């Protein structure tokens, strides 16, 4: 599988990243190598290998729910770059034509 500069630029656009031409070139090469390696991994015979969700066994640790002190709205928003009343204001993430 081959990835193009245009695809990397589009991914950057969706991620709201301003990538320089050098970064686009670098990421195109890096993601291309990752995809090549994934294609190589597809050729491995995995018949009889048990599927796992984690490489290491995990133990779920569950704690009791409980009420504890929290920040006030003013404390929570004290360093917010932009706010709307008692809320953080964030840039829209819906695709827009420019």
Average pLDDT in the chain: 90
Whole-angstrom distance, CA of residue 87 vs CA of residue 76: 9
Residue 96 has pLDDT above 70, yes or no: no
21-42 and 5-14 helices, crossing angle to 10°: 110
Query: What per-residue confidence (pLDDT) applies to 57?
Result: 82
Which domains does the chain show, CATH number per domain? Answer: 5-42 (1.10.20)
pLDDT digits 0-9 by tens, 39-60: 999 999 989 988 888 888 888 8
**Sole residue written with tokens 């002190």:** 69
What residues have CB less than 8 Å from 1, skipping those under 6 apart?
Answer: 35, 36, 38, 39
pTM here is 0.53
Alpha helices in the chain (DSSP H): 5-14, 21-42, 73-77
């Amino acid at each position: 599988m081959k990835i193009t500069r245009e695809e990397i630029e589009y991914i950057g656009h969706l991620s709201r990243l301003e990538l320089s031409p050098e970064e686009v070139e670098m990421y195109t090469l890096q993601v291309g190598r990752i995809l090549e390696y994934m294609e190589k991994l597809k050729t491995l015979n995995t018949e009889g290998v048990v599927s796992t969700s984690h490489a290491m066994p995990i133990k779920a640790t569950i704690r009791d729910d409980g009420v504890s002190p929290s920040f006030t709205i003013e404390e929570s928003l004290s360093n917010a770059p932009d706010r709307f009343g008692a809320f953080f204001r964030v840039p829209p993430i819906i695709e827009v034509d420019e």
